Structure formats: C-alpha cells, structure tokens
Amino acid sequence: EGAGSCAEVNLMPSDIVNFPMAEYADADVILVADIHRGGVFAQIIGTLHCLPQKYRDMVKGFIINRFRGDIALFKDGVEWIEKETGKRVLGVLPWYSHFKIDAEDSVEIENCLNLNDLRPDVPAIAVIRLPHIANFTDFHALSRINGLQVVYIDRPHHLNQFRAVILPGSKNTRADLEWLMQNFKKPLEAYARSEGHIFGICGGYQMLGEFVDDPDGLEGHPGKTDALGLLPVQTVLKAPKTTTRSQFEWEGKKGEGYEIHMGYTFLKGGIPMLDILSRNSNPCTDRDGCMLINKKIAGTYIHGFFDSSPVLSKWLEGLGLDLFCPDEGFTSLKEKSYALLRAHFESHVDLTHIL
C-alpha cells in the first residue's frame, strides 16, 4: 500500500507484518499506490523517504491501481516516477466494472441498504450488525436476489417487518454476545414467539444457544457467557481452530462452503441441520448445526451457506418466498470473477519483472 501502513515511522520499531515479514522471507517488495485517492506521486515518493535504506532497497517497483481514464495520458507520470525513484513502474491497473469481487468488510457496511430506505412492499432480511461482525461475503448471494432486500441493523426496531433475522459470524463471539444480550435479547425472544425465522452462522449459531464457554481464555478472560437460549445447544471454545472446505447436504439440496471456528457445539435437543459429506476433500458422515422441529430457528457453522442456488432456494421457500435464484451458484460466479481479475491484471502489469 502506498498510502501509509508500511511506512508508519512511529510504529516501525514494533511492526512485524510489513517489511520485517518480507525481510524474514527474503522477498522482493512491490509498492501498490491507489491513484483514485489522489496524490499518487506523494504516496510513492513519501513512502520511500519514510523508509530506512534497507527497506527502500527491497522495493523493486510500483503498481498504480484504480486508474480512471486514458492510460496513455499517464505516460509522463510513469516516466517521472521512474526518474525520481530509480525504480520501475510495473503497470497501471485501470478501474474495472465488468466483474465484481468481494469487498472489504468496512466497505460492505458503508454500502449497505439504509433501514429508512426499505420498501414495505418488498420482503426484507435483516442481518444484525455485531460490533465485531465478520464474513460479510456470506450474504452476497442474498443481496443479488431480485425482489429481496437485505439490510444490516444495529437496533432492534420493528423486527416483525423482516421475513428473517440473521446472526452473522464474529471476530469476538463472547464480546459480541454480551452486546447482543443487552440490546437484542428481549426483541429476539418476542420475534421468536411470533414465529419469526432466525438463522445463525458460525459465531451467530453459537450465540443462539444456551451459553458460550471459554475455559482457556482464547477470546480474552476465561469464563462462560450466557447466550440467547433460542437453540438447545452449548458451545465450548477450544483450540485448535477448525479450518475446512466443506461439502454438505440439506434435506436433499447440496452445497459447498467453509468452516473457520474455535471449539465445538453440542446439541441438547432439536435436530442436526446438515449432513457433512466431506471436509477438505476427505469424505465423512458428520452432522452440523441445529434446527428446531418447526424449522423456524436454526444455525450452522458453514460459511457460504447461501452460495449454492438449490440451498438458497430452499431457505427462501422456508420463509414463504418464491423468488428466482440464478441456476449458476454464487461460488461459480465468484470463480469466474476472479478469473477475469487475473486476466485484467496480466494484461496491464509486466509480469516478466515479477515472476
């Protein structure tokens, strides 16, 4: 990044993730500058001048990112950068609009639908905006369904206007659970009594249970935090972290996602939600998640749950919604988008000086 980060002089003595990592790996460094933010020349020259000489020597070149307009008009800019720094500009990447890739978490929140903009005649899904919310990509497939609104909420006003409320993943489950208990417990209980649909993913699944126990203090101080009690499950956080690509089946509908979580969740009632067919390509016969008998409240550890069109269609049908889901699943669409990103990069960056 050319806007700061790797050249924060006040943090450099304790920095372990930027140049020290590259130095440890004996790796070359490419500085990427975001021209869309403006001041691209100052980004590059300023960053280099803030670096000690040993780090400056590790920078082998620059890439100018997010360029709008005619690249030919930036030819003089490229020449100036190369003359002033003595290093190559390896490419200028134009702004793209012919494909979409996953956004950063903060960008996703900034661009989400405002609660005041909801149309009362169009069904809506609410995702609770936890303080440490994670894995926003879980809801991209929902967001592209025509005739469906997806909104992030941080206040429990009028939950009955939503066809379903989703509890997402979290970077700190117990801290977010305490916030949730303080702000959403009674409204979610009332929503559940009115037979509203509630769905939890990963940390959100854990929060729907009876408690989350962290005996080893993996997320902070050791202890047990009472949960919502909407699902008959209990969670104990334990190392190591589970990280798998997982294929699953939900009542005849197959999908694929991933798991990334600490610990285990034990069912004390209800029914398992999913059959796990494989983890990291290894066949298995495990079960995942929990669902009440009436199927109104459920949870799973599977991220990317909605990315399979048959699974998404089945979930929407359970809400009483008959909406068209594209035959091409969201996973396949993402793979095509990343292939287009690769082609876009290769056509504008001189790879002979990188590889």
Strand residue runs (E) in 120-250: 124-128, 133-134, 149-153, 164-167, 169-170, 197-201, 211-214, 223-226, 233-250
| Residue 329 CB coordination number (10 Å) | 21
Cα–Cα dist 247/297, whole Å: 22
Burial of 326 (0-12, 13-18, 19+ CB in 10 A): middle
Beta-carbon contacts of 351 under 8 Å, excluding residues fewer than 6 positions away, are none
Return the bridge partners of 349, or none: 91
Residue from 237, 19, 341, 76 nearest 9 by CA: 19
| Residue 310 CB coordination number (10 Å) | 16
284 belongs to the catalytic site? no
157 belongs to the catalytic site? no
Instruction: With H, G, I as helix, E, B as strand and everything else as coil, classify residue 279.
Output: strand
C-beta of residue 124 within 8 angstroms of C-beta of residue 163: yes
C-beta of residue 198 within 8 angstroms of C-beta of residue 184: no
Report the half-sphere exposure of 89 (CA within 13 A, side-chain side): 22
- Catalytic residue chosen out of the listed positions 202, 261, 290, 348: 202
Residue from 310, 345, 283 nearest 64 by CA: 345
Q: Output helix, strand, coil percentages for the chain, rounded to the nearest 5.
A: 35, 30, 35
Residue from 256, 259, 292 nearest 141 by CA: 256
- Catalytic residue chosen out of the listed positions 197, 261, 303, 348: 303
C-beta of residue 166 within 8 angstroms of C-beta of residue 128: yes
16 token code pair: 């372990």
User: Which sequence positions are flagged as catalytic?
Assistant: 202, 303
